[in-house]
Structure 1
């Protein structure tokens, strides 16, 4: 697998591009802005985008979604349990003063445990509520890799003090979904630098006993 990611948009979202080395078919995760940069990176990889995955329904993760869909023809996929928040995406764009752009149309809703595949790439949908009610992570077990969205960061965790965020849900997500993964699992968060489950288990202050329990 070929993996590349770049920081995009007003909040420096990590937009990931995964490419099957056999077919050059690709998946893009969280196209949060800077459409031209994303398209240039796709062209440099000689990739053909077949799926666009969104981890959760916050504006900063989808700003480039409509343009990317138009240019590639790839369907846009969103966790089914985040549909309610998605209905407010137009309002989010307005409040964030995202001008001249509209949210992409969602073509497919994803369920917990579902596998999405392109070429030799296969990702499992893991429901990770807390930062948003229906957010998800995308897990590649064979690659020891997880795209965490805004649930787990290097040395931090997702903000639960946002509209529709939930502290108790985030705690369960961190302990039941992330801390059960192997230590060598590579974590690509929604923002910031990448990390591993083992590093966060040892160093993340929010995962220390009593901190968020």
Structure 2
């Protein structure tokens, strides 16, 4: 079974499967990946990123997850977390997020925490990975006890996608923090399976992290070069025209946001237009 596969559980590793939500779009690609974590024979499971409030998707997810012990959110964005209240109603399981405002019946996730749940063999290491948003976490899925078992994969949410680059939130994202996160994933993710929030899974996270770093550095240099070329005439709009020469009009808003985030990282202020 290959990606995408809607309305069914697709096994990815011995302890991890994915149910793809039918919410395709420019940013969500084929849809949101909702992850189900449990080893063969486990009576309970952990669900990560139940997705938007799509009743059909939640029913499929709940059916395939068996008894859900906990629900974890990689970050607050609607396509990952809007169904938090509803999945709590359906399963009775607590919903946990790094930001306590998005928890439902559960305690906030903590950086470095090891999640151990009775009836679920795999254990999950929580790593705070700010950048895309301030509340982003990556979840390291171990087949048993961390460091003494197999690291089956890392659930990255929107920190790294299975295809295309990731936007940094203009409200509380941070490019400097994001670059630190990518460097960490490049180191710890070598030969570890990527379990992204969108797009297909892949064999080696470090390959994606390296490409993401290189692309961010390229964009930084492009902005610097454009600022030097345009001088006092530089605006966000003129910078985009200079850098994104073939951008799809549908993606222009994303280009504007990315440019403003880059300017903030550089400590440069220019008018919007």
TM-score bracket, normalised by the shorter chain, equals 0.7 to 0.9
Using a 3 Å threshold, how does the CA distance of structure 1 residues 164 and 71 change in structure 2: closer, same or farther?
A: same
1:153-168 map, 5 Å = 153-168=161-176
How many angstroms does 1:201 deviate by? 5.1
1:31 is paired with a residue of what secondary structure?
coil
- Matched residue, 1:53: 72
Pick the structure with more strand per residue: 1
For the residues of structure 2 that align with 1:17 and 1:2, how far apart are their CA atoms?
8
TM-score, normalising length: structure 2:
0.62
Decide whether the 8 Å contact of 1:171 with 1:212 is kept in 2.
no
Q: Tell me the SS of whatever aligns to 1:38.
A: helix
Shift of 1:199: 3.4
Structure 1 residue 3: deviation in Å? 2.2
Larger Rg: 2
User: Structure 1 residues 44 and 128, CA, compared in 2 at 3 Å: closer, same or farther?
Assistant: closer
What is residue 254 of structure 2 aligned with on the other side? none
Q: CA deviation at 1:31?
A: 0.7
Q: Does the CA contact (< 8 Å) of 1:13 and 1:32 recur in 2?
A: yes
| C-alpha contact 1:3 1:19 (8 A) present in aligned 2 | yes
CA distance in 2, matches of 1:65, 1:74: 10
In structure 2, the partner of 1:43 is 63
How far apart, CA to CA, are the structure 1 residues paired with 2:170 and 2:79?
14
| Distance (Å, rounded) in 1 between the aligned partners of 2:39 and 2:152 | 16
Give the structure 2 partner of residue 126 of structure 1.
127
Residues 1:122 and 1:164: Cα distance change in structure 2 (over 3 Å): same
How far apart, CA to CA, are the structure 1 residues paired with 2:88 and 2:114?
21
- Partner residue in 1 for 2:111: 112
**Structure 1 or 2: more helix by fraction:** 2
Deviation at 1:208, TM superposition (A): 2.4
Q: Which has the higher contact order (CA 8 A, sep 6+)?
A: 1
Cα 1:133–1:41 shift into 2, 3 Å: closer
Q: 1:22 to 1:6 in 2, by over 3 A?
A: closer
Contact 2:183/2:209, CA 8 A, preserved across alignment: no
Output the TM-score relative to the length of structure 1.
0.78
Tell me the equivalent position of 1:190.
Answer: 197
* Aligned alpha-carbon RMSD (Å): 2.4
Aligned-pair distance for 1:4? 1.9
Alignment partner, residue 3 of structure 1? 16
Task: Describe the superposition over 1:118-170 as per-residue Cα deviations: whole angstroms up to 9, x where unpaired.
Answer: 22120000010001112101002423300001111235443114321111110
Match of 1:147 among 140, 143, 155: 155
Shift of 1:110: 1.0
Total equivalences in the alignment: 189
